[in-house]
Structure 1
Amino acid sequence: MALDGRVAIVTGGAKGIGYAIARRYLHDGAKVVIADIDEKAGAAAAAELADFGEVRAVVCNVAERLHVHNLVASALDAFGDIDILVNNAGMVHKGDFLTLDEADFDRVLNVNLKGAFLCGQAVARHLVEKVKNGGPAGTIVNMSSVNAVFALPDQVGYSVSKGGLSQLTKVMALSLAQYGIRVNAIGPGSIMTDILRAVADDEAAQKKILSRTPLGRIGEPKEIAAIAAFLASDDASYITGQTIFADGGRLPLNYTVDPRKDD
């Protein structure tokens, strides 16, 4: 299997895209640590995935340095090593630019951007030491978004954080290239997570999404997980500093498309 024997940390792994990545990594032979701020959801996810391989759940607020330190220590205690980090934990907060509270802006940036920095730095230090001791280089995957390129006026913190994460990915990749450690990102478009599922029965909202999606459908978390599995594997051994956008063709689009389906 492509990830046989490797150890992965997936932040925000209790639900949605993170859960799908954890499941795919287990399927591909990895041991997985699910890190999530929701203790109950993390434990439930680990229990559900236990049939697929070795998995642990760790409570972690990625915006807190001590939490991140404990996460890395817990992964090492459980499995003795770390090879892969997926910085997937994230949050959104709706608010207009003119009225957005500073605290809400900070809260989103702290999780989405600072959290990726803290987790990335902590895991990278372990990976570098392993390389210096003759071990194999690991890899880091950041979860970006099409909104690293586009902007949502009512998602100020989210849009800014994903733009920052795009640059963080490049900085990390260049900093760690000398050790053979690869850092890449995935930029999903509209994916059927719990957040988006709320519009599944809203015809107008779904029509709006599909009008900007040339492939004419909403993506599935397992499709993002497949990219995360590829980027963590040796098949991606010469790829670093890149963002792979899985958006159904949205980024190249400069007009809307007809979202109607054939009867």
Structure 2
Amino acid sequence: MHPYFSLKGRTALVTGGTRGIGRMIAQGFLEAGARVFICARDGAACIQVAEELSLYGECIGLPADLSSEEGARALAEHLAIHAQQLDILVNNAGTTWGAPLESYPVRGWEKVMQLNVTSVFSCIQQLLPLLKKAGNAQSPARVINIGSVAGISAFGEQAYAYGPSKAALHQLSRILAKELVDEHINVNVIAPGRFPSKMTKHIAQDEAAMAEDVAVIPMKRWGREEEMAALAISLASAAGAYMTGAIIPIDGGFTL
């Protein structure tokens, strides 16, 4: 691997790292040489996936429930036992809720906003001391928030809270990027289009739905695992040292 993209000697945390985009990024970081912590609410899945990913490097699972401020605080406390600093934080944990407009429940709206926006704020807030220890002028610490093209476009698919939650996350990231730049912490957003995940599994398993879905993507396909990993590595490595406050779509041209 070219040294511009090496993560050797760096420590990363990927929330929601047991599946989907989080797992793609975690594996990519390991292959680039990082020590990687993954967290998810399912403790058994954390242990199992950490063992599987250990084929690529040092991976440690930390069970964490990020649906509350207390959960984010507990995660930071547990991580501090294992790491003196945090070079890379990927806020990937998230959720969605779909229902017709007339029956869309407030509890669904609140759940999506809590996990997609509030928990990201709480994680950054609680992990800030470890991020500050890692960052310096030559190599800033990195926060990579996983947004969505749903926060850029109006393609809602009756998931009324999801797009607004991701738009809020994009704006929060811009605000934090400006505020934390003097602390040598870069904050950027990856805004994915379609990638294989639990959230998109129902489409991938339906041939007609899949054909309809890719028809509105200029590249006529979904993203691949290595493409997501490569972008995250770029933001986390020397390639991303001069980038902060960016919202980067990776969507095969969908937002066009």
Give the TM-score of the pair, scaled to structure 1: 0.90
Q: Could you tell me which amino acid in structure 1 is paired with residue 140 of structure 2?
A: A
Partner of 2:148 in structure 1? 145
C-alpha distance 223-130 of structure 1, shift in aligned 2 (>3 A):
closer
Q: Work out whether 1:227 is the aligned partner of 2:251.
A: no
Tell me whether 215-224 or 104-113 shows the greater mean CA deviation.
215-224
Q: Which runs of 5+ in 2 are unaligned?
A: none
Give yes or no for contact 1:10–1:32 (8 Å, CA) kept in 2.
yes
Which of the residues 122, 128, 131 maps onto 2:132? 128
Query: Segments of 4+ in structure 1 off by > 6 A?
Result: none
Distance in 2, matches of 1:236 and 1:25, equals 14
Partner of 1:255 in structure 2? none
Distance in 2, matches of 1:210 and 1:130, equals 41
Q: Work out whether 1:96 is the aligned partner of 2:96.
A: no
**Deviation of 1:135 (Å):** 9.6
Which of the residues 218, 222, 240 maps onto 1:218? 222
Give the greater-gyration-radius structure (CA). 1
Which of the residues 61, 76, 79 maps onto 1:72? 76
Partner of 2:21 in structure 1? 17
Q: Could you tell me which amino acid in structure 1 is paired with residue 30 of structure 2?
A: L
Name the % identity.
Answer: 32
SS in 2 for 1:198: helix
Q: Could you tell me which amino acid in structure 2 is paired with residue 82 of structure 1?
A: L
Give the TM-score of the pair, scaled to structure 2: 0.92
Distance in 2, matches of 1:161 and 1:71, equals 22
Q: Which runs of 5+ in 1 are unaligned?
A: 253-263
Which of the residues 204, 218, 223 maps onto 2:208? 204
Distance in 2, matches of 1:158 and 1:125, equals 30
Q: Work out whether 1:195 is the aligned partner of 2:194.
A: no
Distance in 1, matches of 2:115 and 2:10, equals 26
Partner of 2:91 in structure 1? 87
Partner of 1:155 in structure 2? 159
Distance in 2, matches of 1:74 and 1:3, equals 23
Give yes or no for contact 1:210–1:218 (8 Å, CA) kept in 2.
yes
Distance in 2, matches of 1:227 and 1:150, equals 21
Q: How many residues align?
A: 251
Tell me whether 165-174 or 185-194 shows the greater mean CA deviation.
185-194
